[in-house]
Structure 1
Amino acid sequence: MAFQKYPASALLPLLEEIAAPIRSRALQMVLADMGAIDAKEFTEIYLPLAALVHFQIMAVRSVRQKVALLSGPSPVSAPFIIGLAGSVAAGKSTLARLLQHALAAWPEHERVALITSDGFLHPNRILEERNLLDRKGFPESFDQERLVDFLLRLKSGEREVGAPIYSHVHYDVGEEVLTLAAPDIVIIEGINMLQQQVSLAGEAHLSASDFIDYSIYLHADETIIQEWFAARFLALIAAARDTPQSFYNRFVPLSDSERRGVIEFVWRNINGKNLKEHILPTRGRADMILHKQADHQIAYLELRNL
């Protein structure tokens, strides 16, 4: 077996490995940024998960120090890159923010940057030119070369690297860029983070997954994810009621049944199809798989055997 299964409760003993000041600082940061979260869940689930990643980071640094004894200190200081994958609406963004604050509590890696691979989608105008608007989110809709170049620059030790930002309001990639300045850790979340790039001729190319130091896949049953997607879609429509420039404003005049029809169409032809064909098959490449219940609680996790 490639993975070992653990109940979420198995994480609790790891709290003893986390100093009290780190636990306190992590909780303060996440409450300040995310407001009303379940402090008990964060402390007993997400903080121990972050500790597992912290141990990986320290192990990598230890190996680098040993290698430096052979060749001398390297002038390159590259960040530790965490890839977070999973379906649309699985909760990747929330998990990424929780891990960001938890990991930043350790003094060994306080600078934790968070980006989404959505920023590396081709702009809508290009997708339209290539007749790919209905394939948005599928592998061919991403600018893979730009994503690989971004990760390569990070791993080459460049002090400042810019990441494009995706606007969910405009449903498009804009001109705005998030500048990452010498981060210790970069968390990049997206549906495509564990996919391998292959050309039409079947030739392998560098993929985002080639640059990831530790990967996490967020999993739930498809029926549950579809319900989460519907709830999010309806919430975005409600939020767009007084925002004409929002992509979701066009759905405001529709009846409830018409909105449900749009949701079912999008899931059946885009998100659900993409999940089955391109996202779920990458789950086995992850180092950690988190299994969520309908209430968003982590039921159990799987860790790749060392």
Structure 2
Amino acid sequence: MMDSAARPQLAPHRYFTREEWAQLRADTPLTLGQSDLERLRSLNDPISMDDVISIYLPMSRLLNLYVAATQGLYNATRTFLGTSDGKTPFIIGIGGSVAVGKSTTARVLRALLSRWPNTPKVELITTDGFLFPNAVLQREGLMERKGFPESYDLPALLSFLSEVKAGAPVVTAPVYSHLVYDIVPGERVAIDAPDILIVEGLNVLQAPRLPRDGKAVPFVSDFFDFSIYIDADEADIHRWYVARFKRLRDTAFRDPTSYFKRYAEIGEEEALSIAERLWARINLANLRDNILPTRPRADLILRKGADHLVEQVALRRL
């Protein structure tokens, strides 16, 4: 592990270099091919097969051990209570800034975990589907706060997670379209009793203000059995965000139905100026005020370098 002089001595997390973490793969088999990886990676996220081997296979092994142990605990509790209720899904939360690679991490983990024999059914959902519709955000003056905690229908998200955790056979959630930048009216996605549910979103580790009367207030993270935070320097995330914006101008923004089509029709200099304003006014503010403060709450922190490669892994001590 890292030189003791280079890491906190009394930190709640144990720190590993990329090389040290890679050694924890043990004999975990590589079950993804290059074609799988091409399909799973997000726009402007240069994940490589070396990343899968060095970072994601050890994560997959760790999570498989956690899932097996948690399933044993659930069974012990059922034995104690004398109940025979259905299985309780293991829920993983993945948080972090925009453009930091949450979606790629979620999809790669889903693919790897679904190949373990004790977790054949792994589902993935993003919290985007629980954003208020644009009409509501406009009415409440929150369009420029989209992605901030107050822009989500928190009761709906908590209800969804509560039903999933209770073992409900089928639970549905709204669908969000990045193309039209809004909730799709009348469309739902069904989550059907998974072994593992991965929940990915900007503010999934957010802790709301506690009431002074001591009444119970559930957090989204209360439903997580394990949580991951994708971390990077602010300057690197900024650069990745602008690079992704430039790529989208040449791809998705050109779709006639895209909410952002106007950004593909203006000059590059003007478009990049808009991207910089969006970053500073919305995404950077959300990162500093809401997202980054949740980092210490994660069970696992993946720290990326300027090239998008994970350079350090921090695992919470038990």
Please say whether Structure 1 and Structure 2 have the same fold, judged by a TM-score greater than 0.5. Answer: yes
Counterparts of 2:82 and 2:216, CA distance in 1: 33
The yes-or-no answer on 1:88 pairing with 2:98 is yes
Secondary structure in 2 matching 1:81? strand
The yes-or-no answer on 1:198 pairing with 2:209 is yes
Measured after TM superposition, the shift of residue 131 of structure 1 is 0.8
Q: Cα RMSD (Å) of the superposition?
A: 2.1
**Which 5+ residue runs of structure 2 have no aligned equivalent?**
1-10
Secondary structure in 1 matching 2:265? coil
Secondary structure in 1 matching 2:313? strand
Percent same amino acid among aligned pairs?
40
Whether contact under 8 Å (1:197, 1:204) holds in the other structure is: no
Counterparts of 2:228 and 2:234, CA distance in 1: 18
- Equivalent in the alignment of 1:243: 255
Instruction: Give the letter for the 1:34 counterpart.
Output: L
Q: Which moved more, 1:66-75 or 1:225-234?
A: 66-75
Counterparts of 2:86 and 2:284, CA distance in 1: 41
Measured after TM superposition, the shift of residue 269 of structure 1 is 0.9
Give the TM-score normalised by structure 1: 0.92
- Equivalent in the alignment of 1:182: 193
- Equivalent in the alignment of 2:298: 286
- Equivalent in the alignment of 1:273: 285
Q: 1:229 and 1:125, CA in 2 relative to 1: closer, same or farther beyond 3 A?
A: same
Whether contact under 8 Å (2:304, 2:311) holds in the other structure is: yes
- State the Cα deviation string for residues 52-78 of structure 1 (Å, max 9, x = none): 111111111122222233222431312
Structure 1 residues 120-199: aligned runs within 5 Å? 120-175=130-185, 176-198=187-209
Q: 1:27 and 1:107, CA in 2 relative to 1: closer, same or farther beyond 3 A?
A: farther
Counterparts of 2:34 and 2:270, CA distance in 1: 43
Counterparts of 1:28 and 1:269, CA distance in 2: 38
Counterparts of 2:245 and 2:54, CA distance in 1: 30
Instruction: Give the letter for the 2:178 counterpart.
Output: H
Q: 1:24 and 1:289, CA in 2 relative to 1: closer, same or farther beyond 3 A?
A: closer
Whether contact under 8 Å (2:303, 2:310) holds in the other structure is: yes
Measured after TM superposition, the shift of residue 118 of structure 1 is 0.8
Secondary structure in 1 matching 2:91? strand
Secondary structure in 2 matching 1:252? helix
Q: 1:241 and 1:24, CA in 2 relative to 1: closer, same or farther beyond 3 A?
A: closer
Counterparts of 2:304 and 2:228, CA distance in 1: 13
Counterparts of 2:301 and 2:261, CA distance in 1: 36
- State the Cα deviation string for residues 227-260 of structure 1 (Å, max 9, x = none): 1111111222211454221012111222222112
Counterparts of 1:153 and 1:253, CA distance in 2: 44
Q: Which has the higher helix share?
A: 1
Q: 1:265 and 1:4, CA in 2 relative to 1: closer, same or farther beyond 3 A?
A: same
Instruction: Give the letter for the 1:191 counterpart.
Output: L
- Equivalent in the alignment of 1:39: 49
Whether contact under 8 Å (1:27, 1:43) holds in the other structure is: no
Measured after TM superposition, the shift of residue 155 of structure 1 is 0.7
- Equivalent in the alignment of 1:260: 272
Q: Which moved more, 1:185-194 or 1:203-212?
A: 203-212
Q: 1:110 and 1:29, CA in 2 relative to 1: closer, same or farther beyond 3 A?
A: farther
